[in-house]
Amino acid sequence: MATDPVEVHPDAPGPGTKLPMHYVECFGCGEVESGLHIQSTVGEQQRVFSQFKVTEAHQGAPGLAHGGLLACAFDEALGAAVGNLLHRPAVTGKLETDFLRPVPVGSTLFIATIVDGVAGRKIYASAEGRLDGEDGPLALRARGLFVQVGVEHFTKHGHPDALEKLRRSHEGDWDINP
Ligand SMILES: CCCCC/C=C\C/C=C\C/C=C\C/C=C\CCCC(=O)SCCNC(=O)CCNC(=O)[C@H](O)C(C)(C)COP(=O)(O)OP(=O)(O)OC[C@H]1O[C@@H](n2cnc3c(N)ncnc32)[C@H](O)[C@@H]1OP(=O)(O)O
């Protein structure tokens, strides 16, 4: 499938920038007590690096991370790369995850995401997750299709005050109006 090259937005945060949570109540990156508390940092070119510390709150089988939460971690990491680098409000249309190794409680998943290409409103991103270090054993791979939406997606389907809630979380650091 043909895609256009990725154009990082001129106002996108530069390499080394630690990304703020995109919404304080987000299960992936916000302050939700049992949430994933994922932290992301911008890398070179169209890359973002994220870390997810797996705790007992995230178990599926005893001592192992729940697969659905691992997929959630990738949704967050991929979405953070798309949203922050392109400055285009987008939602996950499709998320594929390959689970290659079990992820134990106590480990930290190092997720490296790249925005691969754009085709109109469709934005493709992919990621790898490694255990306990950027060069650790490969545990997961994921590919996501994000679809750009107008900001009314969030007010119509989510909460009438969605934009205000998002803006408050962002402390005005980026304008979510396209
Ligand atoms: C997420 C909050 C962001 C708020 C913004 C604020 C700040 C942003 C800053 C930073 C962001 C940072 C972090 C974000 C972190 C995490 C993000 C988590 C994201 C989520 O967790 S978000 C929740 C789960 N997500 C949904 O809740 C979506 C429900 N869904 C829909 O709302 C519609 O379904 C929609 C809008 C997706 C499409 O609907 P639509 O009517 O607008 O458009 P349409 O259907 O025409 O699709 C257009 C083209 O995409 C193709 N397409 C669509 N879906 C496909 C699929 N599954 N497979 C293959 N192709 C697909 C079509 O085939 C067509 O392709 P073509 O143009 O080639 O024909």
Residues 6+ apart with CB under 8 A from 88: 9, 82, 123, 148, 178
The residues facing 49 across adjacent strands are 41, 112
Q: Is 80 in the pocket of ligand 1 (CB under 6 A)?
A: yes
34 with 112: CB under 8 angstroms?
Answer: no
pTM for this prediction: 0.96
Q: Is 121 in the pocket of ligand 1 (CB under 6 A)?
A: yes
Domains of the chain: 39-170 (3.10.129.10)
Residue 69 CA: distances (Å) to CA of 28, 46, 111, 116: 9, 25, 14, 23
Residue nearest to atom 54 of ligand 1 (CA): 93
Complex ipTM = 0.96
Residues of the chain with pLDDT under 70: 171-178
Stated as kind and residue range, the H or E segment containing 70 is helix 67-86
Q: What is the pLDDT of residue 1?
A: 73
User: How far is it, in rounded angstroms, from Cα 11 to Cα 18?
Assistant: 15
Q: What is the pLDDT of residue 58?
A: 97
Q: What is the pLDDT of residue 143?
A: 98
- Cα of 71 vs centre of ligand 1, distance in Å, is 16
